[in-house]
Amino acid sequence: MNLTDFSSSALSLLPPLLALGLAIATRRVLLSLGMGIILGTVLLTDFSLVPASQYLLDVITGLFIADGGLNSWNLSILAFLILLGMITALLSLSGGTRAFANWAQSRIKSKRGAKLLAAFLGVFIFVDDYFNSLAVGAVSRPVTDRFHVSRAKLAYILDSTAAPMCVITPASSWGAYIITVIGSILVAHGVTDYTALGAFVIMIPMNFYAIFALLLVFAVVWFQLDIGPMRQFEYQAKKGSRLGDESEHCADICDDLGIEESENGSVADLVAPIVVLVIATISAMLYTGAQSLAADHHAFSILGAFENTDVGMSLLWGGLAGLFVALVMTVKQGIAKPDIAKTLWVGAKSMFGAILILLFAWSIGHIIGDLQTGKYLSSLVQGNLPAQLLPVVLFLLAAVMAFATGTSWGTFGIMLPIAGDLAAATDIALMLPMLSAVLAGAVFGDHCSPISDTTILSSTGARCGHIDHVATQLPYAIGGAVVATFGFLVLGFTASLLWSLAVSTLAFILLCSGLLWLKKRPCQLKG
């Protein structure tokens, strides 16, 4: 099918802007994404009804079928969501959730401790952002609920520890993908001073947004820096209610599952399935990566396995292993099989709302790709800018691209090669700072975007209203981006990592001081 070329037209921005604007204005995610999908479809097909219908059908079919076979990536992620919903429901039925909450309450004595538990789990479970948000959410939610932490705060903690950790960790699905892309860029420009892995490690302290977003999570938790919409959510949670659970897109995701919990549950009933889930997922990632290496006649290495792993299938196998253990832990208590079957259905059904939003997000992501919105945005940077400004410009442009397209990985794929070309054409010494700026900007834009799948899964993991999560996280994400902007400005003009970290650290301290001042200001709280 011949599609209209929008690679050099600002019209390519209209569908994502419409979806984002409507989502913020109406708080109706599916309606907003649907309108963006329709607008993008008619633009690409020049407002012709029959081609538009055929194109939209192809997009929808492509979510499930690709290259003549099943779309294994999409289907694996959807299956993992259903499995995790089932596991979560079984953890409640077996009494494991209640037992863990009681155990944690005897050791975690404060609301701060409950939030720190979620934050530390988010840091330590870094193999994949999808897995991080969903698994950490399942473990942490009973404890944060018990201490009246809002679901919006939990979603913020999940989202702001998942991607920032993954993007600076070599042994993660993100790290492996980025290292692969960086390796091809270094080869293309004849850079032999360091390997792809070496370059990635050098870039870690240059990823100012990821570093300070993580630090900001702990500052927000420790000093209770609740500002903007988050302040209202925390106030309502303190009173025992969960503001936002009544929203349209949250109806299936956020309501309590209504499962009668067993009185005989133990901490092991929750911990064992989650531990097996984690170990099985990591093992499957190493196994599928090793298979790929063997097929290409390459020697096995842990990093090489992560570079070539099949994340979707690994999550699926990990989910199946976790579900099996959860079933064993439930059956051994003598719970009636009809109750178990009903619970499995309730758990699967609880994920249908999230799956629907994810399918819409994937659809608009495909359409935005055909509109070549990313290519248009990337063309804006290729002007007569001083080389010293390129790191901060690339940071902001990558943020806009990730925000508009809803994908960090897509932004990496488009912007990292462009950053490499710009560095080679201007100042090769700025190669790594410019690549780091793209990584940082993509994560920032992803954090702000309502159409990002990682943002959707963070709100799912916390069982929080999706737009509620976006609105409450936004002030903190912008604050982290301001800190990163100072870092990339200094890095571009001084080429000194030490000075950049010093200035961005000072900016971070000022940011926290400002948040503390805002927290102390009186405001009108509802309810």
Tell me the pLDDT tens digit for each residue of 342-394.
999 988 887 787 788 778 878 887 888 788 876 777 677 666 678 889 899 99
Report the distance separating Cα 179 and Cα 164, nearest Å.
16
Instruction: Assess whether pLDDT exceeds 60 at residue 527.
Output: no
pLDDT digits (tens, 9 = 90+) for 380-391: 766 667 888 989
Report the distance separating Cα 480 and Cα 499, nearest Å.
18
54: confidence class by pLDDT, cuts 50, 70, 90: very high
The length of the chain, given as a count of residues: 527
Residue for token digits 């009809």?
338
Report the distance separating Cα 435 and Cα 134, nearest Å.
29
Cα 461 → chain centroid = 11
Report the distance separating Cα 175 and Cα 169, nearest Å.
6
9: confidence class by pLDDT, cuts 50, 70, 90: confident
Report pLDDT for 253.
36
Instruction: Assess whether pLDDT exceeds 70 at residue 171.
Output: no
Report the distance separating Cα 342 and Cα 268, nearest Å.
23
Report pLDDT for 421.
78
Report pLDDT for 482.
97
Q: What is the mean pLDDT of the chain?
A: 84
* 473: its two tokens: 């996280």
pLDDT digits (tens, 9 = 90+) for 80-133: 878 878 887 888 888 887 787 778 777 888 899 999 999 998 888 776 677 778
Among candidate residues 41, 35, 1, the one with its CA nearest the CA of residue 18: 35
Report pLDDT for 514.
92
Q: What percent of the chain has pLDDT over 70?
A: 92
pLDDT digits (tens, 9 = 90+) for 396-407: 989 988 888 887
Report pLDDT for 369.
78
Is this prediction's pTM over 0.85?
no
pLDDT mean over 306-322 = 82
Residue for token digits 């900001």?
216
pLDDT digits (tens, 9 = 90+) for 460-499: 889 888 889 999 999 999 999 999 999 999 999 998 999 9
